[in-house]
Structure 1
Amino acid sequence: MQQLFISLGILLLVLGLLWPWLSQLPLGRLPGDIHIERENFSFYFPLMTGLLFSAVLTLILWWIRK
């Protein structure tokens, strides 16, 4: 359990240091994300971004456990 918390802490530190560059990536604006704008209403559902994030996280966790 300690190793998991240390690994997550290091990962968050690295992501924080890389944030200026990571924020330039088009995540959240991928084709397949649903964005509806109407008068007085806006709806955004990041479908493809969520699927991509899930696939990458699954591969990383699978690789760590193996």
Structure 2
Amino acid sequence: MRSNGVVVFYVLLVILLTMASVQYGLGRLPGDIVVDLGSFYFYVPFTTGLIVALLLGAVFWFFRR
């Protein structure tokens, strides 16, 4: 069983990498939610976050083996 600190670190790392990937061009994938009402803009990168989490999980799995 993983400690809470490892889980929190993993979640924060996924959030940070998702924000960085959206800012530098990976965003706007199919499955990301965008609400643009003129003066109100809301963006939730579901697909981008899922891809980042899968890649990060694969990297951690590879180095743990």
Equivalent pairs: percent with the same residue?
A: 42
Aligned twin of 1:40: 39
- Structure 1: any 5+ residue segments left out of the alignment? 1-21
3-state SS in 1 of match to 2:36: strand
CA distance in structure 1 between the partners assigned to 2:31 and 2:60 by the alignment: 25
TM-score when normalising by structure 2: 0.60
Following TM superposition, where does structure 1 have runs of at least 4 consecutive aligned residues deviating by more than 4 angstroms?
none
Aligned twin of 1:29: 28
TM-score when normalising by structure 1: 0.59
CA distance in structure 2 between the partners assigned to 1:30 and 1:57 by the alignment: 18
Q: Which has the higher contact order (CA 8 A, sep 6+)?
A: 2
- Structure 2: any 5+ residue segments left out of the alignment? 1-20
Higher Cα radius of gyration? 1
